[in-house]
Amino acid sequence: DSGVTQTPKHLITATGQRVTLRCSPRSGDLSVYWYQQSLDQGLQFLIQYYNGEERAKGNILERFSAQQFPDLHSELNLSSLELGDSALYFCASSVGAGFGYTFGSGTRLTVV
Amino acid sequence: AQSVSQHNHHVILSEAASLELGCNYSYGGTVNLFWYVQYPGQHLQLLLKYFSGDPLVKGIKGFEAEFIKSKFSFNLRKPSVQWSDTAEYFCAVGPGIPTFGRGTSLIVHP
């Protein structure tokens, strides 16, 4: 157990649907990062939140959004899902960007 | 922006063989360098990191990496691999939000 909790572990949904992935960071970590891992794109950074505020955006589609709540847990919302959105979605937390991440176990999303 | 390249996509070794995985980066300033490992079905774990100081960095599980600034490289090494080292290995480079390489799949045969 890394201390970063992601739910659910697996999610199967149909195209056009909307899903929410949840992440609880390691205790004491204020930064949360979302990554998408797919076979063809590798590990792609999506978005970072720090203490409730958006800090950095990567290759995140407009159909995707995220937020971090006062208790520091974060949610990644994926809407109008397409087959190509099937991937592993990882959440990571850290005390700061340069200190190395602690990753969660990921949510495997399958869009059918 | 920084970029990182891992040249070895798949490596197959026998137990006790020595390992070296290549990582080259592109960035003109001061870098932070990381190696992560992802065991089958598990999350990524930090193996080691370099920020400054001694360019030879020792990590967990007997791994080490050497930062060679002139070659823009941060290769991962282990003198004798075990079957349990079978995993995906990712190099990442900062500053800021690290950029990850595409990963190297290592299979160690017993």
A25 secondary structure, DSSP code: P
- The pLDDT of residue A97 is 59
Report whether pLDDT(B77) > 90. Answer: yes
Residue environment code for B38-76, b if the CB has 16+ CB neighbours within 10 A, otherwise e? beeeebbbbbbbbbeeeeebebeeebbbbbeeeebbbbb
For A90, which residue in chain B has the nearest alpha carbon? B43
Residue environment code for A80-99, b if the CB has 16+ CB neighbours within 10 A, otherwise e? ebeeebbbbbbbbbbeebeb
- The pLDDT of residue B47 is 95
A49 in contact with B, Cβ within 8 Å: no
- The pLDDT of residue B13 is 98
Separation of alpha carbons B50 and B86, rounded Å: 23
Separation of alpha carbons A42 and A15, rounded Å: 22
Segment B72-96 mean pLDDT: 95
User: Rounded mean pLDDT of chain B?
Assistant: 94
- The pLDDT of residue B29 is 87
Both tokens of B38, joined, read 């992802």
**Å between B99 CA and nearest CA of chain A:** 8
Rg (CA), chain B: 13
B27 in contact with A, Cβ within 8 Å: no
For A56, which residue in chain B has the nearest alpha carbon? B97
The tens digit of pLDDT for each residue in B39-70 reads: 998 889 999 999 999 999 999 999 999 999 99
Separation of alpha carbons A44 and A6, rounded Å: 18
CB B79 within 8 A of CB B18: yes
- The pLDDT of residue A98 is 63
- The pLDDT of residue B21 is 97
**Å between A29 CA and nearest CA of chain B:** 15
For chain A, which residues score pLDDT lower than 70?
97-98
Which helix H or strand E contains A91, and what residues bound it?
A: strand A87-94
How many CB atoms neighbour CB A48 within 10 A?
23
For chains A and B, CB pairs below 8 A equal 48
For B52, which residue in chain A has the nearest alpha carbon? A98
- The pLDDT of residue B36 is 96
Nearest by Cα to B35 from B26, B48, B50: B48
